[in-house]
């Protein structure tokens, strides 16, 4: 049996030789505009990926959640497996197939797969079809190098990451397809950079604060009670009390950019009284609401973050006997962090040092991604985001991914998989 180091050398050469094949796969994926919302063309994209993976000796399945009722935009996921001597260790490579809408400001066709000056352009190049292609080629290079798998390599292409991932990775985890019984390590090649390993994210709590007043004629407002007043006061105290308190709380997680290491709150929307663009009638506003996006730290926890908002609403209501404010939960994503000393992190760290030539940076993401489902539902703690692309490119016009970084990260993933899943 060839030694691991000679397989490694061969696999790295295979990746260099597969440069056009890898860029071609990424470009083919991004020519299918899987824009979400609404979730266009998932089936076409899933079929393309499944087709390529069958050519790379995987067993593939196209899977749609039974609960998916969207006939116009069906949620099709791909799950592929290449089995070696045993089921374990199982390394799972997951990429989301969806992209956000192109938006304005492009100087080239966002869905043409343009390659120029060493960059692959297009919506979804960085986030994250280039990463998915790099991961697929990394695994394929090991096969071409003659590596004999001790366990299994799985690849999934999943839907809806940009809208929460519930019909994609969330559903694969709920149905046991990504689970601690089956899956040992998960790499999600989100665009964190060729030398950075992302070990998790902060928590998210979305809430709606509703205000109820009493309608009356606008010429006699003293007969009613405006729902705007308590909301205005709530927002004022949020700005002058809650926000300064949050800005003093810092996480020990290495969130990038560093400005995102503090707890934060954003007012997503404010609405009260009559809709702005309709003909107006003279009425005291009898209802209003604000929608809040609170990013909480693993050190804070969800209950404390929620309680703070509930208590602020109660304190504002208590200022005036006629004021009514209530808080309703909309969404919670708990924070997650890969344990220190995790074997996947160590394997990637060594591979980055070897391929890139300097130490890896361990980071955490300012926003959430499918890691939450892998860990919180699937129970798989050995999960990271690692892949090519510049985080700030995600969701921008003229999005691009550097092809050299695709090569570099494919090499890193190949070496890490060689250590984790190959016999010898
Ligand atoms: Zn992404």
Question: Residue 33 to residues 40, 78, 136, 263, 394: CA-CA distances in angstroms?
Answer: 7, 17, 20, 35, 16
Catalytically annotated residue among 14, 98, 140, 286: 98
Ligand 1 mean position, distance from CA 33 (Å): 15
pLDDT digits (tens, 9 = 90+) for 319-367: 998 899 999 999 999 999 999 999 999 999 999 999 999 999 999 998 8
Q: How far apart are CA 406 and CA 137, in angstroms?
A: 10
Sign of CA dihedral 45, 47, 51, 56: positive
Side-chain-side CA neighbours of residue 142 (13 Å): 29
Ligand 1 mean position, distance from CA 191 (Å): 7
Ligand 1 mean position, distance from CA 324 (Å): 40
Beta strand pairing status for 185-188 and 383-385?
A: parallel
pLDDT digits (tens, 9 = 90+) for 89-147: 999 999 999 999 999 999 999 999 999 999 999 999 999 999 999 999 999 999 999 99
Sheet holding 324-333, edge to edge: 264-272, 287-296, 203-212, 324-333
pLDDT digits (tens, 9 = 90+) for 260-279: 999 999 999 999 999 988 89
Which has more pLDDT, 197 or 422? 197
Ligand 1 mean position, distance from CA 95 (Å): 8
Q: How far apart are CA 324 and CA 150, in angstroms?
A: 62
Closest CA to 324 of 212, 207, 209: 212
H or E stretch at 290:
strand 287-296
Q: How confident is the model at residue 391 (pLDDT cuts 50, 70, 90)?
A: confident
Phi then psi dihedrals of residue 325, to 5 deg: -130, 135
Q: Quick check: is 161 catalytic?
A: yes
Closest CA to 306 of 187, 189, 208: 208
What does pLDDT average to over the chain? Answer: 96
Q: What is the pLDDT of residue 39?
A: 97
The pTM (predicted TM-score) of the whole model is 0.91
Does the pLDDT value for residue 1 go beyond 70?
A: no
Ligand 1 mean position, distance from CA 162 (Å): 7
Q: Where are the alpha helices (DSSP H) in 238-341?
A: 243-246, 302-318
CB-neighbour burial class of residue 55 (10 A; exposed 0-12, middle 13-18, buried 19+):
exposed
Ligand 1 mean position, distance from CA 16 (Å): 25
Residue 22 φ/ψ region, left for φ over 0, alpha for ψ in the -120 to 50 degree band, beta for the rest: alpha
pLDDT digits (tens, 9 = 90+) for 36-45: 999 999 999 9
Q: How confident is the model at residue 394 (pLDDT cuts 50, 70, 90)?
A: confident
Ligand 1 mean position, distance from CA 126 (Å): 8
Ligand 1 mean position, distance from CA 275 (Å): 34
Closest CA to 169 of 308, 370, 379: 370
Q: Quick check: is 354 catalytic?
A: no
pLDDT digits (tens, 9 = 90+) for 224-259: 999 999 999 999 999 999 999 999 999 999 999 999
pLDDT above 70: percentage of residues in the chain: 100
Ligand 1 mean position, distance from CA 279 (Å): 42
Ligand 1 mean position, distance from CA 338 (Å): 18
Catalytically annotated residue among 14, 127, 154, 161: 161
Residues facing residue 221 across a β-bridge? none
Q: How far apart are CA 111 and CA 103, in angstroms?
A: 12
Ligand 1 mean position, distance from CA 131 (Å): 9
Q: What is the pLDDT of residue 330?
A: 96
The three-class DSSP label of residue 258 is: helix
Per-residue pLDDT, averaged over 168-187, amounts to: 98
Does the pLDDT value for residue 424 go beyond 70?
A: no
> Tokens representing 404?
């050299």
Q: Using CA atoms in the order 380, 382, 383, 384, what is the torsion angle rounded to 10 degrees?
A: 170
CB-neighbour burial class of residue 67 (10 A; exposed 0-12, middle 13-18, buried 19+):
exposed
Degrees, nearest 5: CA angle 36-37-38: 100
């Amino acid at each position: 049996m060839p030694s691991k180091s000679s397989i490694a050398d061969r696999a790295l050469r295979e990746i260099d030789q597969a440069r056009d094949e890898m860029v071609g796969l990424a470009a083919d994926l991004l020519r299918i505009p899987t824009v979400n919302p609404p979730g266009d063309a998932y089936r076409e994209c899933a079929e393309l990926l499944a087709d390529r993976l069958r050519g790379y000796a995987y067993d593939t399945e196209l899977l749609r959640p039974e609960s998916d009722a969207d006939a116009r935009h069906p949620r099709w996921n791909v799950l592929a497996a290449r089995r070696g001597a045993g089921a374990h260790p199982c390394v799972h490579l997951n990429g989301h197939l969806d992209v956000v809408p192109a938006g304005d400001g492009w100087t080239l066709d966002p869905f043409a797969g343009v390659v120029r000056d060493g960059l692959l352009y297009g919506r979804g190049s960085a986030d994250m079809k280039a990463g998915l292609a790099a991961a697929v080629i990394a695994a394929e290079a090991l096969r071409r190098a003659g590596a004999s798998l001790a366990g299994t390599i799985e690849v999934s292409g999943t839907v809806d990451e940009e809208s929460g991932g519930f019909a994609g990775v969330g559903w694969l985890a709920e149905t046991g397809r990504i689970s601690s019984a089956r899956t040992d390590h998960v790499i999600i090649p989100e665009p964190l950079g060729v030398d950075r390993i992302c070990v998790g994210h902060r928590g998210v709590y979305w809430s709606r604060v509703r205000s109820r007043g009493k309608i009356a004629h606008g010429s006699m407002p003293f007969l009613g009670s405006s729902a705007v007043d308590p909301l205005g006061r709530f927002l004022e105290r949020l700005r002058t009390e809650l926000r300064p308190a949050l800005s003093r709380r810092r996480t020990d997680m290495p969130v990038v950019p560093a400005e995102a290491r503090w707890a934060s709150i954003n007012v997503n929307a404010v609405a009260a009284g009559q809709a702005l663009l309709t003909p107006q009638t003279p009425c005291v506003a009898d209802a209003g609401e604000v929608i809040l996006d609170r990013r909480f730290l693993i050190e804070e926890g969800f209950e404390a973050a929620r309680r703070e908002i509930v208590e602020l609403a109660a304190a504002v209501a208590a200022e005036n006997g006629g004021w009514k404010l209530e808080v309703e939960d909309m969404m919670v994503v708990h924070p997650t962090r890969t344990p220190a000393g995790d074997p996947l992190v160590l394997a990637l760290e060594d591979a980055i040092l070897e391929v890139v030539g300097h130490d890896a940076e361990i980071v955490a993401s300012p926003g959430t991604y499918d890691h939450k489902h892998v860990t919180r539902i699937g129970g798989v703690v050995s999960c990271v985001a690692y892949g090519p692309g510049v985080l700030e490119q995600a969701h921008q016009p003229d999005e691009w991914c550097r092809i050299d970084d695709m090569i570099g990260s494919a090499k890193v993933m190949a070496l890490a998989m060689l250590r984790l899943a190959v016999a010898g």
